[in-house]
Structure 1
Amino acid sequence: MYSEINPYIEKLTELSDNSNSISPDMYKEHKVFRGLRDLNGNGVVTGLTEISRIKAKEKTPDGDVPCEGQLFYRGISVRDIVGGFWNEQRFGFEETVYLLLFSKLPDAKELGHFCRTLAYMRTLPDSFTRDMILKAPGRDMMNILSRTVLALYAYDDEPDDTSTANVLRQCLHLISVFPMLAVYGYQSYLHYHLGQDLFIRNPRQELGTAENLLHMLRENGEYSELEARILDLALVLHAEHGGGNNSTFTTHVVTSSGTDTYSAIAAALGSLKGPRHGGANIKVVKMFDDMQQTIDTSDRSAVREYLTKLLDKEAFDCAGLIYGMGHAVYSRSDPRADILKQCAKALAVEKGNEEEFALFEYVAETAPELIAEKRKMYKGVSPNVDFYSGLIYRMLGLPYELFTPLFAVSRITGWSAHRIEEIQNNGKIIRPAYISVKPESKYIPINRRQ
């Protein structure tokens, strides 16, 4: 389509490359922390929140030292939250949504009413699925999700009202329908791009988020109780994370401008789509696929050699990374990974995948040792949430295309809580400073330019 102007585009690209190169030394000279992280890997503080907190260090007389990772939702340990509903053999995602939005755990009556409210709101406008999803199928699920979220603006009678009551209504509706938007977008992709049979199954009011996801996604609508409970648990663990992650910060930045809910959430989706943020678990699964196709994984020495080649940029995508290892904040452990590891083990037993799980366990034990040998580390390295979540999703039969949208189905909860927090605190528009390092120059008339 653009073949005639490609040579010109190449020339402009070269000009662009020469115009926007800033030396890394300049960041040190001006004391600017790239990625808003200081030289020790600590995030630069940009705000206050009551929604969640990450703890990866403890204060001692000798300074901060790494500790076992902890994650708190509204001050409550996520380990305790998960242990509570898991031991009682019930689902926990809706309870977690309530906690993150309203800063308290619901009692049984409050939780029941809240679940019924979400079920009531789990519906799309008339003809929306046909007109906005089936008539405009796409190949990228996150783009479909962003597009359909923006389209919902046109169906809202009060789309620009940023009062707490209206934003809460919008957020509850988005939390309710995100599973439908993700699954229906995937079904349209399968039918219109891959030629498979099309089926659109309505959600059932008596089912929660995780059960409805599996019910709508699978052609027979069936799933085991363990499958649904583990998916529900994964949604709980992905619902929120500290406020400083890229997509949540995006939500704060865009919300601070006074824009509508649909635009703010679409912006967050654009952030989450990035492979450095929401797509990491896909990389983990594909890395293991490459490993299993390349070597005999029953030979642990061969696995160790493969991991070494990953770090030496000689295997898989040659990026020098062992995907799923390490986190920007956690050092000794990621509590979400610890919990998901137990879930992965239970699911592996049900699915007959014990051998693959054992391989993941070996890599989880060996990779930190090899990374410590190869890299200069300022903190420890351990498996992160993406290490086991991809394995779990694959054992659940979920397609790669839905891995990141499933992240969004969960994280819409945290985005909603942070959007409401930003609005209620009536903060200023977020506008950080950039230092210009380009020297001044004089304007040259056009007839004298070369």
Structure 2
Amino acid sequence: MQDTDKEMIENYTEKYSKLCEANGLIDKNLFDLYGVKRGLRDINGKGVLAGITKVSQIKGFEEQGDQRIPCEGKLYYRGYDINDLVNGFTSNNRFGCEEITYLLLFSALPTKEQLAEFKEILAASWDLPKNFVRDVIMKAPSKDIMNSMTKSVLTLASYDDKIDDLGSDNVLRQCLNLISTFPRLAVYAYHAHNHYDLDNSLYIHRPNKNLSVAENILHMLRPDTEYTELEAKILDAALVLHMEHGGGNNSTFTTRVITSAGSDTYSAIAAAILSLKGPKHGGASNKVPDMMQNIKDNVTDPTDEEEVRHYLTKILDKQAFDRRGLIYGMGHAVYTLSDPRALIFKGFVKKLAEAKGRQADFALYSLIERLAPEVIGAKRRIYKGVCVNIDYYSGFVYNMLGIPMQLYTPMFATARIVGWSAHRLEELINADKIIRPAYKSIVTLNEYVDIEER
């Protein structure tokens, strides 16, 4: 495209975008007038009931008659408390990612024999088509790894002779293949960006069938393929805790909407990736480390509670950091008093911080975790409790693991594809209608005017 054409297009879009904004604005009072629940949540944070699921359950309130009482958060995978699941495999010093993947897909905890067979199937499913890494992942690299992963997923569809077969056996095969290949798609896309865009050395390590998912990620990511057992176990826990979170979160709901239209698995998962990358969803984990660095740069003494509290107030008042008035990692759509994933994860974070000599950083995270709800409560009208969510600690952990920031959200996707797959299968098995909510039209009717008379 010539420079003159680019300039012409930019001038045109700048001019007409203002017209779009002016004509597209809707009076917010109309949402209340017509009873529209913005974000599909009412003023008390209760979501509009859009479906039924047996995959997982999230609990942030106790129902007492007509009242909803905030309670400590609970998360259940297929009816099992997430605390019990994590304690189960960590107490036996086992990796849990494959075991919990089996649970979410098949609704039962595997026996030793079933788990061993499942691991073999996952390892057999991770191969990519010949020259796929060179011809797809390495071509047109991007600093946006989620976009690169989406391109790879949609390209994989062209290698599948049964792409449109919606039978549960075929969809399960497709899901297992994507679950298995996601770590490679993410890590290799980063290596392509690191080499071609940042001019660093290129290295591609193949996964090892004797390693767990978490071990393979670190093995493929690091130049020397080395990692400690603690590092791998903490990444494994992070994957399990991010794996599933109900049918109403944006990316999972996207999966179910695309699935309800009768579309193929690759299209549904690609759409879910693009939903997850949004900064209001999975992309939030990138904002917390940025915010924490900003706090450290602007607070003289990070152990001084009053100074930290004052700066948090400035952030909330849009006077500091990105001036959006948000303390990232605080609050959740469902949880009120606590996010069980964050509580579990914090124990792992503490161990890793001690091993990495990052106790001072951990102390600051803990201090802000305690102060932020007080600051938010004093400045904002809160209809439910404000608690730290799992995104608050995720970026800190990935940083300590040496995972580059471009891979923070892709690590989330590498875990969450398990939940997406479980919900896609459930939607296909049970639903026979396309998901199509209603929108109230407030358009003004007009008489057509001939072009010569306008």
After TM superposition, the score normalised by the length of structure 2 is 0.97
Alignment of 1:29 onto 2:33: yes
Indicate the residue corresponding to 1:344 in structure 2: 349
Counterpart selection for 1:230 from 224, 234, 255: 234
Counterpart selection for 1:307 from 300, 304, 312: 312
Alignment of 1:108 onto 2:130: no
Indicate the residue corresponding to 2:390 in structure 1: 385
Alignment of 1:123 onto 2:127: yes
Between the two proteins, the alignment pairs up a number of residues equal to: 449
For residues 316 and 7 of structure 1, the distance between their equivalents in structure 2, rounded to whole angstroms, comes to 31
Indicate the residue corresponding to 1:215 in structure 2: 219
Indicate the residue corresponding to 1:78 in structure 2: 82
For residues 242 and 5 of structure 1, the distance between their equivalents in structure 2, rounded to whole angstroms, comes to 43
For residues 431 and 344 of structure 2, the distance between their equivalents in structure 1, rounded to whole angstroms, comes to 37
Indicate the residue corresponding to 1:133 in structure 2: 137
Kindly state the Cα deviation for residue 120 of structure 1 after the two structures are TM-superposed. 1.3
Kindly state the Cα deviation for residue 305 of structure 1 after the two structures are TM-superposed. 1.1
Indicate the residue corresponding to 1:268 in structure 2: 272
Structure 2 residue runs of 5 or longer lacking an equivalent are none
Indicate the residue corresponding to 1:68 in structure 2: 72
Cα deviations across residues 249-292 of structure 1 (Å, max 9, x unaligned)?
Answer: 00000001111110110000110111100111110110001111
Alignment of 1:288 onto 2:292: yes
For residues 5 and 217 of structure 1, the distance between their equivalents in structure 2, rounded to whole angstroms, comes to 41
Indicate the residue corresponding to 2:164 in structure 1: 160
Alignment of 1:399-418 (within 5 A): 399-418=404-423
Indicate the residue corresponding to 2:57 in structure 1: 53
Indicate the residue corresponding to 1:320 in structure 2: 325
For residues 63 and 335 of structure 2, the distance between their equivalents in structure 1, rounded to whole angstroms, comes to 15
Q: Secondary structure at the match of 1:70?
A: strand
Kindly state the Cα deviation for residue 62 of structure 1 after the two structures are TM-superposed. 7.4
Please tell me the residue identity of whatever aligns with 2:408: F
Q: Secondary structure at the match of 1:71?
A: strand
Alignment of 1:194-213 (within 5 A): 194-213=198-217
Indicate the residue corresponding to 2:14 in structure 1: 10
Kindly state the Cα deviation for residue 174 of structure 1 after the two structures are TM-superposed. 0.3
Kindly state the Cα deviation for residue 439 of structure 1 after the two structures are TM-superposed. 2.0
State which drifts further: 128-137 or 400-409: 128-137
For residues 314 and 128 of structure 2, the distance between their equivalents in structure 1, rounded to whole angstroms, comes to 49
Please tell me the residue identity of whatever aligns with 1:324: G
Please tell me the residue identity of whatever aligns with 1:234: A
Please tell me the residue identity of whatever aligns with 2:25: S
For residues 99 and 106 of structure 1, the distance between their equivalents in structure 2, rounded to whole angstroms, comes to 7
Cα deviations across residues 163-218 of structure 1 (Å, max 9, x unaligned)?
Answer: 10000000000000000000000000000000000000000000111000000000
- Residues 143 and 406 in structure 2, CA contact (< 8 A), matched pair in contact too: no
- Residues 73 and 340 in structure 2, CA contact (< 8 A), matched pair in contact too: yes
Please tell me the residue identity of whatever aligns with 1:308: T
- Give me the CA root mean square deviation: 1.0
Kindly state the Cα deviation for residue 361 of structure 1 after the two structures are TM-superposed. 0.4
State which drifts further: 295-304 or 438-447: 295-304
Indicate the residue corresponding to 1:442 in structure 2: 447
Please tell me the residue identity of whatever aligns with 2:57: R
For residues 54 and 32 of structure 1, the distance between their equivalents in structure 2, rounded to whole angstroms, comes to 24
Q: Secondary structure at the match of 2:76?
A: strand
Indicate the residue corresponding to 1:151 in structure 2: 155
Alignment of 1:252 onto 2:256: yes
Please tell me the residue identity of whatever aligns with 1:59: E
Q: Secondary structure at the match of 1:138?
A: coil
For residues 62 and 411 of structure 1, the distance between their equivalents in structure 2, rounded to whole angstroms, comes to 34
Q: Secondary structure at the match of 2:57?
A: strand
Alignment of 1:395 onto 2:392: no
For residues 173 and 24 of structure 1, the distance between their equivalents in structure 2, rounded to whole angstroms, comes to 45
Identity across the alignment (%)? 54
